[in-house]
């Protein structure tokens, strides 16, 4: 797919759904899906193939704004693949091919006039392994601002992002020291600060706490709850208790790249519609 020079800044123009009626209960999403009046992300029949292998099967899901949506399911069921569809990171995998539509603020991110780099400014990402750059703490956070040639007060934005990532108090006197000197949990919060510094609308998190100890994990979970007041968070996690603790909505993917159920987290964990989901949640398989 071509990547023309125009960017995705215009996504805000088309705030209404491109498919009127998609928010009518039962008209979109898995049959048990919740009614979401103002989804920020709408996935419509998204399928992904790696070469001839299909990794995702026609995923349809409306993701609400400024809430936490957790994606859970056994290894290899396509959770990370779906996450990478949202900000077109799959574009970077040569064998990957995406079919279907994925709307962000009403704009299909796979339209030819969307610039993936500009899209990723609006949809930041945090990975499993903390991956700060071998740069100072300040420069790590300012990285995205430099790329977008931000002409405001960089130091103020760095401070704001570090506060937003609950790291400021721990690092405010060492902003010129390397980000690599921090503990694993601090490094992950630094990566979250880096992700939110350009003021995105959505933050994607791919198992952000799985490499951390319980204390650092708990700090990240608290942080996710805080940042979801300002940003939409979509998190892939293997930890079902974590999904139950921190998310508002949960999507359950199962083997073969199928989204079996998507609903309010409480419903998924207490009274899922599908036996396969109940079996997975209760540990009978997966
Ligand atoms: N870059 C790639 N090239 C080829 N196949 C891939 C690639 N990435 C993922 N796959 C395949 O796509 C399927 C879905 O993988 P994906 O990583 O999205 O699943 P997942 O649910 O996130 O798994 P995990 O929980 O183990 O991270 C798997 O069969 C995987 O082997």
* 60-71 tens-digit pLDDT: 999 999 999 999
Cα 164 to middle of ligand 1, angstroms: 31
Q: How far apart are CA 84 and CA 247, in angstroms?
A: 19
What's the pTM value of the predicted model, to 2 decimals?
0.87
What is the residue with the minimal CA distance to atom 16 of ligand 1? 78
Predicted local distance difference test score (pLDDT) of residue 207 = 94
**Would you state the structure tokens that stand for residue 276, as one six-digit string?**
């396969």
What is the residue with the minimal CA distance to atom 3 of ligand 1? 50
How many Cβ atoms are within 10 Å of 156's Cβ, its own excluded? 9
Ligand 1 pocket mutation, candidates 76, 204, 286, criterion most atoms within 8 A of CB: 76
Which of helix, strand or coil describes residue 180?
helix
Q: Rounded to whole angstroms, what are the CA distances from 170 to 137, 148, 167, 173, 175?
A: 11, 27, 5, 8, 10
Q: How far apart are CA 125 and CA 234, in angstroms?
A: 9
Please, what is the Cα angle at 277 between 272 and 278, to 5 degrees? 65
Nearest-atom index, ligand 1, CA of 48: 12
Chain centroid offset of residue 243 CA: 13
Rounded to 10 deg, the angle between the 184-196 and 214-227 helix axes is: 20
Longest dimension (CA), the chain: 54
Burial of 32 from C-beta contacts in 10 A (0-12 / 13-18 / 19+): middle
Residue 279 near residue 49 (C-beta atoms within 8 A):
no
H/E run at residue 208: none
Predicted local distance difference test score (pLDDT) of residue 147 = 81
Q: Rounded to whole angstroms, what are the CA distances from 229 to 7, 68, 226, 276?
A: 26, 9, 6, 32
From first to last of its 286 residues, the chain has per-residue pLDDT tens of: 444 333 333 333 333 333 322 322 333 344 446 776 679 999 999 999 999 999 999 999 999 999 999 999 999 999 999 999 999 999 999 999 999 999 999 999 999 999 999 999 999 999 999 999 999 999 999 998 888 888 899 999 999 999 999 999 999 999 999 999 999 999 999 999 999 999 999 999 999 999 889 998 999 999 999 999 999 999 999 999 999 999 999 999 998 999 999 999 999 999 999 999 999 999 886 5
What is the residue with the minimal CA distance to atom 9 of ligand 1? 81
What is the residue with the minimal CA distance to atom 28 of ligand 1? 76
Predicted local distance difference test score (pLDDT) of residue 160 = 95
Predicted local distance difference test score (pLDDT) of residue 178 = 97
What is the residue with the minimal CA distance to atom 12 of ligand 1? 55
Residue 95 near residue 110 (C-beta atoms within 8 A):
no
Q: How far apart are CA 88 and CA 99, in angstroms?
A: 12
Do β-strands 39-50 and 96-104 pair in parallel, antiparallel, or remain unpaired? antiparallel
Q: How far apart are CA 253 and CA 276, in angstroms?
A: 10
Cα 77 to middle of ligand 1, angstroms: 7
Residue 257 near residue 55 (C-beta atoms within 8 A):
yes
Predicted local distance difference test score (pLDDT) of residue 286 = 58
- Ligand 1 cavity residues, CB under 6 Å: 50, 55, 73, 75-81, 93, 95, 238
């Amino acid at each position: 797919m071509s990547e023309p020079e125009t960017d995705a800044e215009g996504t805000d123009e088309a705030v209404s759904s491109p498919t009127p009626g998609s928010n009518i209960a039962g008209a979109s999403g898995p049959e048990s899906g919740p009614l979401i009046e103002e989804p920020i992300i709408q996935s419509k029949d998204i399928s992904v193939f790696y070469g001839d292998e299909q990794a995702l099967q026609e995923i349809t899901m409306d993701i609400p704004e400024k809430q936490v949506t957790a994606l859970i399911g056994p290894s290899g069921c396509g959770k990370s693949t779906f996450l990478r569809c949202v900000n077109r990171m799959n574009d970077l995998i040569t064998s990957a091919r995406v079919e279907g539509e994925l709307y962000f603020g009403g704009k299909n991110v796979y339209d030819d006039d969307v610039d993936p780099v500009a899209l990723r400014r609006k949809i930041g990402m945090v990975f499993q392994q903390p991956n700060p750059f071998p740069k100072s703490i300040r420069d790590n956070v300012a990285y995205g601002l430099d790329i977008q040639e931000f002409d405001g007060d960089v130091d103020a934005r760095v401070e704001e992002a570090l506060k937003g990532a609950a790291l400021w108090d721990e690092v405010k006197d060492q902003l010129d020291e390397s980000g690599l000197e921090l503990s694993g949990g601090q490094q992950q919060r630094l990566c979250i600060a880096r992700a939110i510094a350009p003021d995105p609308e959505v933050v994607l998190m791919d198992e952000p706490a799985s490499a951390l100890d319980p204390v650092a994990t708990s700090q990240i979970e608290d942080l996710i709850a805080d940042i979801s007041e300002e940003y939409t968070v979509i998190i892939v996690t293997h930890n079902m208790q974590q999904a139950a603790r921190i998310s508002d909505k949960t999507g359950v993917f199962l083997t073969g790249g199928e989204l079996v159920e998507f609903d309010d987290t409480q419903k998924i964990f207490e009274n899922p519609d599908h036996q396969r989901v109940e079996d997975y949640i209760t540990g009978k398989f997966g």
